[in-house]
Structure 1
Amino acid sequence: MKRKNILFIMADQMAAPMLPMYASSPVKMPHLSRLAAEGVVFDAAYCNSPLCAPSRFTLVSGQLPSKIGAYDNAADFPADVPTYAHYLRRLGYRTALSGKMHFCGPDQLHGYEERLTSDIYPADYGWAVNWDEPDVRPTWYHNMSSVLQAGPCVRTNQLDFDEEVVFKAQQYLFDHVREEGDQPFCLTVSMTHPHDPYTIPKSYWNLYSDDDIPMPHAPLAQSELDPHSQRLLKVYDLWDKPLPANKIRDARRAYFGACSYIDDNVGKLLQTLEDTGLAEDTIIVFSGDHGDMLGERGLWYKMHWFEMSARVPLLVYAPGQFKARRVKDAVSTADLLPTFVALAQGQLDAGLPLDGRSLLPHLQGERGHDEVFGEYMAEGTNSPLMMIRRGAYKFIYSERDPCLLYDLHNDPKEQEELSQLLAHQDLFTAFLAEARAKWDIPAIHHQVLASQRRRRFVAESLAIGKLKSWDHQPLVDASQQYMRNHIDLDDLERKARYPQP
């Protein structure tokens, strides 16, 4: 059987609970809504760390952050950690990345044969968290300017990036179909919207009116928040600084517009698959790295285990292969590596570590796993903050903060914390014992501190003297582009035309 191409599309900071494929929502996403209606939609998909780099390192490797040192947004991603790109190359796939993956360190490929763009974020260690000074707020941390300056725009850094990402991805598909042979591809297209800052061109802003925008549920008083939430408010400089209601609405409106912008770009990619005749032979997977609190519980951005921050969209569209269905089981983006290997008709290497589990049973309508483990050791923490999601329940575990327990089936908005209720004491005790058996918190704490200290030292050293950047530099050989005298003109024009005359 011919192996299918894989087009893996990612959005950044897209909160699953706000999307029309998951709930009644004003967000306009016709292309993704169609894929969801005809594909397999995962109703309880999670990231394994609610921050860009740690989540992505786990996504591409299928290993939990503490196993691979993915502690924060400046964590080094070791070159010897196998990724789905390594696996698929061994299976004969062409592998390419267009867009963001936030790889930190000197290896900027991690198995991809080529990266079509640079990254939008730096590849160095400059954003390392510092547990040695937990009360010092670094200048590069998020603040609330994204909300206070929310509104329509003409152009942004992020628009520049995503326009290039999609253009290069479309060009990759055109180039692929014009090449001889039938080698399958795995193309990852990773856009940076709807990540803050909350601003988007007027055409997307005007898709919505203020009346369309639901406001956050009444937040708890600061004093009633869990300790990690309180630290986050201080991290992004929101402590004792209430936001104007109109700016909260503006931020959410721009975010909805950015979701529609992502959908339009998905539509461009779908059209390119149709135009090139690749649609029938290509499996489409759509997901993201984490969500956005968007003012719910008084919180913004990500960095916590609440649903808005930790749940991600996940759908697989392959109508000839998998019937349309909804999957209620809890799964995670760590499951994508073994899933991609299964879709490519390959086998996992039994000698290599892996935390993710294949989603193939779920895709085929069979019983699959219903369990997610998560780890967070970055902004706002002073000790590891872990998560177990299984069945109806979510358990958030810390040795320094009170543990939290929620019943998501009966309380999807996580309004009632259950850990102190007598009726849930046996369940809470079992979760706590499981977490302590799974995670050696003192050992992980020591590893995180040691990594932070090494990276701070190296970053400060490399800032002195001549700068040698690790940022990926996409190379273009202009001598092989367009029309050149060493290439026969008729032959060039014939090969560049699709379909060929």
Structure 2
Amino acid sequence: MKRPNILFIMADQMAAPLLPIHDPASPIKMPNLVRLAETGVVFDSAYCNSPLCAPSRFTLVSGQLPSKIGAYDNAADFPGDVPTYAHYLRSLGYHTALSGKMHFCGPDQLHGYEERLTSDIYPADYGWAVNWDAPEERLSWYHNMSSVLQAGPTVRTNQLDFDEEVVFKAQQYLYNHVRENAEQPFCLTVSMTHPHDPYCIPEEFWNLYRDEDIPLPGVNIDQQDLDLHSQRILKVIDLWGKELPAEKIRDARRAYFGACSYIDANIGKLLKTLGDCGLAEDTIIVFSGDHGDMLGERGLWYKMHWFEMAARVPFVVHAPRQFAAHRVSQSMSTADLLPTLVELAGGTLDPSLPLDGRSLLPHLQGSGGHDEVLGEYMGEGTNSPLMMIRRGDWKFIYCEQDPLLLFNVANDPHELENLAQSPEHQGLLAEFLADARQRWDIPAIHQATLASQRRRRFVAEALTKGKLKSWDHQPMVDASQQYMRNHIDLDDLERRARYPRP
């Protein structure tokens, strides 16, 4: 029996709490995702394992927590010997392909994918390494507020160029699959970079909304009253001691909503191509993301914290022939993707290989499953590991250098009441703290993070001297095998290129 095809679609920096699949009152227009969710399994409490692009993605593809694989920040080297879902599926006979962003850093730009259809949008070198040795120094490549202050409609951007290529190459991959290799199962990952800032989008999507449709942030906290990590983030993004004009906050959110609709339009293109190619019935579709965006809530922007807007991601599995449509309330994470895909493909996990993620098959079958997420953050804005445990109704945020944070997310979805100082919650707090200290050797992780940063900063500086040898992926195209060429019979060429074949 042929194994199912897998289409994994990713968005970048898409905040799950705002989406219409989670909030019926959401003004964001995403009809294709809504239709996919209506006949799929929707995870209402899905989290990233690190609220930063590269660490989240390294965990997503490997099923291992960032500290286990050195995924400390956006310039961390992802070792080539870490097994990924692409390695597993390839060993099961799948053709594995990636179209778009995965933010791999280091000389291995494949990590088990047999083919990358595009380059990455971000650099593959160590130039964005964080520096805990100088925590007060604001590095030039850090986010600033230009994304908000320059928000609005646009004709073209770097990210539009990239996502247009990502979707086009993915569609071509599907066309080529049915024309050339229909018997082999595929796992195609399509990873777009919207709605990640900068907050600008073409008028076609900007004009789906009006200013009056765009709610301003609902949670506003004075900067001096924020937790210490939030205060450090404001310094990282150059917003400490400053205010943003309300009209620019609205513009940024309007562009972000438009970018979500742009992603939805691209989901529609991919779904149509699946249908046109006769692949819809035999393809499992997964939609998710790498982290969210604070979008001005609590006065914060971008990600880098464990609050719901930054840490929660969409997660939908569409396989209606296998799983009845339903919603899952238990908390899970993108680390669970690898074991889930392996089981959906009919494979088995190697018990001798390390793995932190857990299969979502019980959730998909409606028979229960785990209700816990572990998260780690060692990136910019902190100078000590910032860990998170989400279990049941509770979220515990733990840093040895900061006051503890404890929220009942069920009763307090906006995380306004820190219960860590509540006398009646001291027993629960002590349990979480003991659990965290048992799970994580913070001094060891701290020293490993510093050592990695120092190595990478040294290597990055050395490699700027002399001849540059880029690690960026260079997709190769053999034009001699495209379109009409004299070494192929014209009738045969046209017949092979046509689908369905005459």
**Normalised by the shorter chain, which TM-score bucket?**
over 0.9
SS in 2 for 1:373: strand
* Alignment partner, residue 280 of structure 1: 281
5 Å-filtered alignment, 1:343-362, equals: 343-362=344-363
Instruction: Tell whether the 8 Å contact from 2:219 to 2:414 is kept in structure 1 after alignment.
Output: no
The alignment status of 1:441 with 2:445, answered yes or no, reads no
Counterpart in the other structure of 1:466 = 467
C-alpha distance in 2, partners of 1:366/1:302? Answer: 33
Task: Please give the alpha-carbon distance, in whole angstroms, between the structure 2 residues aligned to 1:93 and 1:358.
Answer: 19
Alignment partner, residue 16 of structure 2: 16
Q: Which 5+ residue runs of structure 2 have no aligned equivalent?
A: none
After TM superposition, give the deviation of residue 423 of structure 1 in Å: 1.2
> What amino acid sits opposite 1:214 in the alignment?
P
CA distance in 2, matches of 1:394, 1:60: 24
Q: For residues 36 and 182 of structure 2, what CA distance do their matches in structure 1 show?
A: 29
Does structure 1 conserve the Cα–Cα contact (< 8 Å) formed by 2:62 and 2:82? yes
The letter of the residue matching 2:346 is Q
CA–CA distance in structure 2, aligned partners of residues 295 and 379 of structure 1: 19
Match of 1:168 in 2: 169
1-structure distance, mates of 2:187, 2:425: 45
Kindly provide the amino acid, as one letter, of the partner of residue 493 in structure 2: L
Deviations 1:462-486 (A, max 9, x none): 0111110000000001111111111
Matches within 5 A, 1:31-180: 31-180=32-181
Partner of 1:381: 382
Question: Which residue does the alignment assign to 1:207?
Answer: 208
Q: Is the 8 A contact 2:30 2:260 kept in 1?
A: yes
Code of the residue aligned with 1:18 in structure 2: it is L
Structure 1 residue 180, shift from structure 2 partner: 4.3
Q: Describe the SS at the equivalent of 1:10.
A: strand
SS state of the match for residue 346, structure 1?
coil
Q: CA deviation at 1:416?
A: 0.7
Given that 2:389 and 2:396 are in contact with CA atoms closer than 8 Å, whether structure 1 keeps it comes out as yes
In the other structure, the counterpart of 1:249 is 250
**Cα distance in structure 2, aligned partners of 1:212 and 1:273:** 33
Correspondence list, 1:396-475, <5 A? 396-475=397-476
For residue 2 of structure 1, report the CA deviation from its aligned partner: 2.9
Who is 1:5 aligned against? Answer: 5
Deviation at 1:269, TM superposition (A): 0.2
> For 1:214-293, what aligned pairs fall within 5 Å after superposition?
214-293=215-294
1:334 paired residue number: 335
Distance 1:13 1:366 in 2: 31
Secondary structure of the residue that 2:44 maps to in structure 1? Answer: strand
Cα displacement (A) at 1:104 = 0.0
Aligned to 1:329, the other structure's residue is in SS state coil
Aligned residues: 501
Alpha-carbon separation, structure 1, partners of 2:210 and 2:249: 14
Corresponding position of 1:323: 324
Q: How far apart are the structure 2 equivalents of 1:366 and 1:422?
A: 37
State how far apart, in whole Å, the 2-side matches of 1:327 and 1:184 are. Answer: 28
Distance in 2 separating the partners of 1:275 and 1:37: 21
Residues 45 and 330 in structure 2, CA contact (< 8 A), matched pair in contact too: yes
Query: Structure 1 segments of 4 or more deviating over 2 A?
Result: none
Deviations 1:8-29 (CA, angstroms, capped at 9, x unpaired): 0000000000000001200000
**Structure 2: distance between partners of 1:211 and 1:56:** 35
What's the TM-score, normalizing by structure 2? 0.99
For the 8 Å contact 2:86–2:112, the answer to whether it is kept is yes
Counterpart Cα distance in 1 of 2:494 and 2:13: 42
Unaligned runs of 5+ in 1: none
Query: Equivalents in 2 of 1:181, 1:443: separation in Å?
Result: 49
Deviation at 1:488, TM superposition (A): 1.5
> Which position in structure 1 is the counterpart of 2:490?
489
Report the alpha carbon displacement of residue 383 of structure 1 after superposing the two structures with TM.
0.3
Compare 446-455 and 474-483 and name the one that shifted more: 474-483
Structure 1 counterpart of 2:253, which letter? R
- How far, CA to CA, are the matches of 1:141 and 1:208 in structure 2? 30
Identity of aligned residues (%): 79
1:446 to 1:180, Cα distance in 2 relative to 1, 3 A: closer
User: How much does 1:226 deviate?
Assistant: 0.5
Q: What TM-score do the two structures reach when normalised by structure 1?
A: 0.99
Alpha-carbon shift at residue 181 of structure 1 (Å): 4.9
CA shift for structure 1 position 490: 1.2
Q: SS where residue 250 of structure 1 aligns? A: helix
Counterparts of 1:453 and 1:44 in 2: how far apart (Å)? 36
In structure 2, C-alpha distance between the alignment counterparts of 1:321 and 1:112, rounded to whole Å = 26
The Cα shift of 1:3 comes to 1.4
With over 3 angstroms needed to count, the CA separation of the structure-2 counterparts of 1:258 and 1:180, relative to structure 1, is closer
Q: Distance in 2 between matches of 1:88 and 1:337?
A: 9
Work out whether 1:499 is the aligned partner of 2:497: no
**2:196 is the counterpart of 1:191:** no
Instruction: State the AA in 2 paired with 1:136.
Output: E
User: Who is 1:393 aligned against?
Assistant: 394
Equivalent-residue separation in structure 1 for 2:219 and 2:9 (angstroms): 34
Aligned amino acid, residue 20 of structure 1:
P
CA distance in 2, matches of 1:217, 1:399: 30
